[in-house]
């Protein structure tokens, strides 16, 4: 069938060429239309339930909101993990779904279960779904700058102008505000005046709500016109609040709010703040991209909108980007684009040097870009972005893509030389067709093996699957395109370009040099064939040395060009102290000459995708281009210097990068390379166990920092109501708690409407009457009889320690230990850390530990690889057997795989790489290439053997010896061309230094090392094995 396809292609070559032109045009069009991104979308499908419960402590939020919601969500179909976070006044429930779940189907299922769970929540508490986005969707962050503007004014501009304009950009799910002060009207009550005027706080609250509304009076017809009637009553200023009437006393004098309270404008309660360049607090915004959207398209839309609204900003106010993912995207794509061009040039040079016939080289040179264009067409059709991994799949395939063309061209040269030497008048196209049919089918199968051998990558799941599947797709597309082109376009191009005088192979100086070196080597091999085989086995055995010393990790880190500094401090830190710490850190970081800008955040932004407590800081560090760095400075060295400079008391440092941190926190909740989750039933016992684990892990070599959350390290002022005393005064529990909520805690009772802007109105006691425990004890509680009694008479006020936040996973209490590892592989570190924890930590009944972070992914991925790699070998074996119909020949070809392991293992060891999923993908790709190399050698050996056998010249060992010499020495050029082309196609990746290079190097390294030793096996060991096999029954 394949030979028939070759004949048809040559016969209808005009159609083939026209179709090629069409494919070329289509491919060029898709290149410009394919969306680009830095990396594939690695985020899990998640739905967030966000619930505000203002003024409530974490334990109250956990008991009344988070726990009922998490238990209800455990039954949601396809939910993998349900995580609950209870913080001061707010609850987050994250439901992580199985891969492939449609996000909007997941959101509708969560809504169904939420309708049922909402009935169990306190009155007035309304849970809502978070944005259809993930933490990975933080694609653009900015700060508002304006000389002469206060933080409150800048925050108003952000909240009521910039935010909504950017939210309208297609692909934006929400824009979260962070930093500055939210304007608030504060009604500070004097309790003594309340008593004097016989007014309660409840009266003030009701009067404010009733005094802040517009109403309508239908319509009025006058003079043949219709007038709509409005009653204007919105609060617009402080006097509007002050003049609201509470009551009229016995003398008919109105009692107004100004008679019992001081009204002023101040900041609303803050649970997050921002800082810029160490110069002080700032106002910022975070653009959160909708799930599944293209980051570059969204960012460009945001930038266009910012340019559009620039004229509408107040004079002197500007928007300054502080994190822009598009820069990473452009750097990453530029790196891969450069490598693809370099690889194509190198591979073309290899063809020209070995063939010394430029027109012949054009066959491979033309076929290569057309194969790449076919890959882009399929990518575009399947909706795959052009990113580091998808372009990387093409990059690692380039060398192998032209192997078929190289061998077919070389074989055509042989046929033309033979026909020319015989003086034959055979038509040119018949010679080309015969040459193509001779090796085409086997080459098609060899390329098909490379294609199919990569398919087990598609069985990877979760984060590693989402990362490597685009690479597997594009490599598969590229090799499939090369296989098809090798039996359609290549024969046509050979007929067109391979004309004129063809230099005989023995006249080629390159070939002569190769034969001069190779002939004595193969003679020695055939003379000492068993010794050669045993030497190869010995070399394979020595591979145990580097393998035993290679560490393990999940995936090589992508250098994003932007750092994320994520320190934590002890819980209970105040807003003022957090701002001071954040500014100090940012000022130190900004002092480094490699740093372009620093944007720090403490606490959380106003988005459900950011469940961060105040004690957690996040600082985005934008770095200058590397050519502006100090000589000899690297990213790792810079981090070490910064870490040393930021060694502040009470602060535990952690370093990562923005995208990586968001992915890690989304997938496992852990932001460091290694995380340890302790599960149990009691918070106090959990913290005790976690501190023991922290102490044990800190002693393990390689631990940069270890921090166990202080889950009972928060500070509480408990107001414990004395029920008997309360009953004596005729007070209900609710009466006392209402006073605690409103008088002490403060309550936003209504919202002003000032044009397009909205601001809360808050009621509480004056600050000077509630700033210590004694004064709080004197807060007056109104009784049913109209009397007022101090709070201390009906309640005990005690300061205690308690949880600053509560975490649950699948409705079980948990605390986490964050471990930052530096200078060691993750696998080896965790193995040692596990032993340290087992030896030094005693777990009470009902408590256990789970190792998470990158280690959790690694364990899952490696267990999958144990199935994938044997499956790959089985697929290769079956394809070989279908082609050769010989079990022995299949086994000989497969011997290339273990021998390629020699070079791959040694190169990985010498380069200091760890075994990772990226390296494993490289090994899987190598297996297909090994099979191709074995097929190429076997084709030539079988040709030489069969020609002599058919001629009746395979009667003794000398005949076999000559056949092997013909199949090896005289065909050394195509074999070395294929090996050299593959290695040349990978070398630009190995010497690259740009964004994405770290990931691609790990994939390319085993392929480069493996191809080197696989090539030696093909040239030296495989002929020895062939000689032993074929010569076993031949006389000497």
In the chain, what are the domains? 1-33+356-502 (1.20.1640.10), 44-132 (3.30.70.1430), 183-267+715-802 (3.30.2090.10), 506-542+886-1036 (1.20.1640.10)
pLDDT of residue 375: 87
- Residue written as tokens 């290899």? 350
Tokens at residue 294, please? 């293209």
Distant-in-sequence contacts of 717-721, Cβ < 8 A, 24+ apart: 717/773, 717/776, 717/797, 717/798, 717/799, 717/800, 718/796, 718/797, 718/798, 718/799, 718/800, 719/776, 719/791, 719/795, 719/796, 719/797, 720/795, 720/796, 720/797, 720/798, 721/794, 721/795
Q: How many CA atoms lie within 13 A of 487 on its CB side?
A: 24
Out of 41-50, 410-419, 654-663, 819-828, least confident range: 410-419
pLDDT of residue 459: 78
pLDDT digits (tens, 9 = 90+) for 246-298: 888 888 889 899 998 999 998 888 888 999 988 888 999 999 998 878 888 89
Q: What is the mean pLDDT of residues 86-105?
A: 88
Tokens at residue 601, please? 């955040």
Q: What is the mean pLDDT of residues 845-867?
A: 78
| Residue-level length of the chain | 1036
- Residue written as tokens 């040079």? 349
pLDDT of residue 669: 67
Q: What is the DSSP letter of 243?
A: T
Q: What is the mean pLDDT of residues 934-960?
A: 76
Residue 777 burial by Cβ neighbours in a 10 Å radius (0-12, 13-18, 19+): middle
Nearest to 777 by CA among 718, 843, 709, 696: 718
Q: What is the mean pLDDT of residues 416-443?
A: 70
Out of 26-40, 425-439, 532-546, 579-593, least confident range: 425-439
pLDDT digits (tens, 9 = 90+) for 882-934: 777 778 878 877 777 788 888 888 888 888 888 777 888 888 888 777 777 77
DSSP helix/strand/coil, 211: coil
Per the DSSP assignment, residues forming a β-bridge with 94 are: 48, 83
Most confidently predicted of 14-23, 533-542, 957-966: 14-23
Q: What is the mean pLDDT of residues 424-436?
A: 73
Tokens at residue 200, please? 């309660």
pLDDT of residue 506: 65
Tokens at residue 643, please? 């870490």
Whole-model pTM? Answer: 0.81
Is the predicted pLDDT of residue 135 greater than 70, yes or no? no
Is the predicted pLDDT of residue 53 greater than 90, yes or no? no
- R_g (Cα) of the chain, nearest Å: 37
For the chain, give the mean pLDDT.
Answer: 83
pLDDT of residue 301: 92
Q: Which backbone phi and psi does 989 adopt, to 5 degrees? A: -70, -40
Per the DSSP assignment, residues forming a β-bridge with 738 are: none
Q: What is the DSSP letter of 671?
A: -
- Residue written as tokens 């609950």? 84
Strands (E), 582-662: 595-603, 617-623, 651-652, 655-656
Tokens at residue 723, please? 């029920």
Strand-pair category, 281-289 with 128-129: unpaired
Q: What is the mean pLDDT of residues 770-789?
A: 81
Q: Indicate the pLDDT class of residue 864, thresholds 50, 70 and 90.
A: confident
Name the percent of the chain lying above pLDDT 90. Answer: 10
DSSP 326-351: HHHHHHHHHHHHHHHHHHHHHHHHHH
Is the predicted pLDDT of residue 504 greater than 70, yes or no? no
């Amino acid at each position: 069938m394949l030979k028939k396809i070759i004949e048809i292609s040559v016969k209808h070559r005009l159609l083939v060429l026209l179709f090629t032109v069409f494919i070329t045009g289509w491919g060029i069009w898709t290149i410009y239309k394919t969306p680009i991104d830095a990396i594939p979308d690695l985020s899990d499908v998640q739905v967030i339930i966000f619930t505000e419960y203002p003024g409530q402590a974490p334990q109250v939020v956990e008991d009344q909101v988070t726990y009922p919601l998490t238990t209800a969500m455990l039954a949601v179909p396809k939910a993998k993990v349900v995580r609950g976070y209870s913080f001061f006044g707010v609850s987050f429930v994250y439901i992580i779904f199985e891969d492939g779940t449609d996000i909007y189907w997941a959101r509708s299922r969560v809504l169904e279960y939420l309708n049922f769970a909402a009935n169990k929540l306190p009155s007035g508490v309304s849970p809502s779904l978070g944005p259809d986005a993930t933490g990975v969707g933080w694609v653009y962050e900015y700060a508002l700058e304006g000389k002469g503007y206060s933080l409150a004014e800048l925050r108003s501009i952000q909240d009521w102008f910039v935010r909504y304009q950017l939210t309208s950009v297609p692909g934006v799910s929400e824009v979260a505000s962070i930093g500055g002060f939210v304007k608030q009207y504060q009604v500070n009550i004097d309790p003594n005046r309340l008593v004097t005027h016989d007014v309660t706080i409840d009266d003030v609250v009701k009067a404010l709500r009733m005094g802040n509304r517009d109403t309508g009076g239908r319509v009025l017809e006058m003079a043949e016109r219709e007038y709509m009637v409005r009653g204007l009553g919105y609060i617009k200023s402080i006097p509007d609040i002050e003049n609201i009437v509470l009551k009229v006393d016995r003398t008919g004098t109105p009692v107004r709010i100004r008679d019992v309270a001081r009204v002023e404008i101040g900041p609303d309660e803050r649970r997050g703040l921002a800082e810029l360049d160490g110069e002080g607090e700032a106002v910022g915004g975070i653009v959160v991209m909708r799930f599944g959207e293209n980051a570059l398209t969204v960012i460009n839309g945001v930038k266009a909108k910012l340019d559009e609204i620039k004229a509408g900003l107040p004079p002197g106010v500007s928007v300054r980007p502080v994190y822009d993912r598009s820069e990473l995207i452009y750097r990453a794509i530029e790196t891969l684009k450069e490598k693809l061009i370099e690889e194509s040039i190198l591979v073309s040079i290899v063809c020209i040097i070995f063939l010394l016939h430029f027109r012949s080289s054009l066959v491979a040179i033309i076929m290569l870009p057309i194969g790449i264009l076919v890959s882009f067409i399929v990518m575009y059709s399947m909706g795959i972005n052009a990113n580091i991994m998808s372009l990387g799949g093409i990059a690692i395939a380039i060398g192998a893509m032209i192997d078929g063309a190289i061998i077919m061209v070389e074989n055509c040269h042989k046929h033309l030389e033979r026909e020319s030497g015989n003086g034959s008048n055979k038509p040119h196209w018949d010679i080309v067709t015969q040459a193509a049919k001779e090796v085409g089918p086997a080459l098609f199968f060899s390329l098909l093996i490379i294609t199919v051998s990569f398919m087990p990558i598609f069985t990877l799941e979760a984060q590693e699957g989402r990362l490597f599947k685009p690479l597997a797709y594009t490599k598969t597309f590229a090799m499939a395109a090369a296989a098809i082109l090798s039996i359609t376009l290549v024969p046509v191009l050979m007929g067109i370009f391979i004309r004129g005088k063809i230099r005989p192979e023995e006249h080629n100086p390159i070939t002569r040099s190769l034969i001069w070196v190779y002939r004595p080597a193969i003679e020695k091999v055939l003379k000492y064939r068993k010794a050669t085989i045993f030497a190869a086995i010995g070399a394979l055995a020595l591979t145990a040395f580097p393998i035993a010393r290679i560490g393990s990790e999940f995936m090589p880190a992508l250098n994003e060009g932007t750092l994320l500094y994520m320190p934590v401090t002890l819980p209970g830190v105040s807003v003022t102290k957090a701002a001071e710490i954040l500014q100090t850190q940012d000022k130190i970081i900004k002092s480094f000459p490699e740093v372009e800008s620093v944007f720090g955040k403490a606490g959380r932004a106003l988005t459900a995708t950011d469940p961060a407590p105040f004690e957690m800081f996040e600082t985005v560090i934008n770095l200058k281009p590397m050519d502006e760095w100090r000589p000899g400075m690297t990213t790792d060295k810079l981090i070490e210097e910064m870490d040393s400079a930021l060694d502040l008391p009470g602060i535990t440092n952690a370093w990562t990068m923005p995208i990586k941190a968001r992915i890690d926190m989304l997938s496992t909740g852990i932001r460091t390379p290694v995380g340890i989750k302790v599960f149990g039933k009691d918070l106090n016992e959990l913290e005790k166990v976690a501190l023991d684990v922290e102490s044990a892990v800190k002693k393990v070599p390689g631990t940069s920092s270890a921090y166990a959350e202080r889950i009972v390290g928060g500070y509480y002022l408990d107001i414990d109501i004395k029920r008997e005393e309360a009953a004596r005064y005729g007070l209900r529990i609710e009466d006392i708690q209402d006073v605690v909520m409103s008088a002490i805690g403060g309550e936003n009772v209504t919202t002003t409407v000032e044009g397009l802007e909205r601001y809360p109105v808050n009621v509480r006691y004056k600050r000077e009457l509630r700033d210590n425990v004694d004064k709080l004890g004197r807060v007056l509680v109104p009784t049913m009889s109209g009397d007022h009694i101090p709070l201390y008479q009906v309640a005990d006020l005690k300061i205690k320690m308690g949880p600053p936040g509560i975490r649950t996973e699948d409705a079980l209490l948990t605390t986490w230990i964050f471990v930052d590892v530096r200078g060691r592989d993750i696998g080896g570190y965790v193995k040692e850390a596990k032993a340290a924890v087992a030896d030094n930590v005693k777990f009470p009944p009902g408590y256990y530990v789970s190792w998470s972070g990158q280690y959790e992914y690694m364990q899952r991925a490696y267990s999958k690889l144990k199935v994938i790699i044997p499956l790959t070998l089985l697929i290769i074996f079956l394809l070989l057997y279908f082609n050769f119909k010989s079990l022995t020949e299949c086994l000989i070809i497969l011997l290339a795989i273990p021998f390629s392991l020699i070079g791959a293992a040694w190169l990985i060891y010498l380069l200091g790489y760890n075994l990772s999923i990226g390296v494993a993908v490289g090994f899987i790709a190598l297996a297909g290439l090994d099979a191709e190399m074995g097929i190429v050698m076997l084709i030539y050996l079988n040709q030489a053997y069969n020609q002599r056998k058919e001629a009746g010249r395979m009667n003794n060992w000398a005949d076999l010896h000559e056949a092997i010499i013909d199949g090896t020495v005289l065909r050394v050029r195509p074999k070395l061309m294929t090996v050299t082309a593959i290695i040349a196609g990978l070398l630009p990746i190995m010497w690259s230094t740009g964004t994405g290079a770290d990931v691609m190097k790990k994939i390319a390294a085993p392929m480069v090392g493996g191809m080197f030793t696989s090539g030696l096996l093909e040239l030296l060991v495989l002929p020895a094995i062939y000689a032993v096999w074929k010569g076993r029954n031949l006389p000497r």
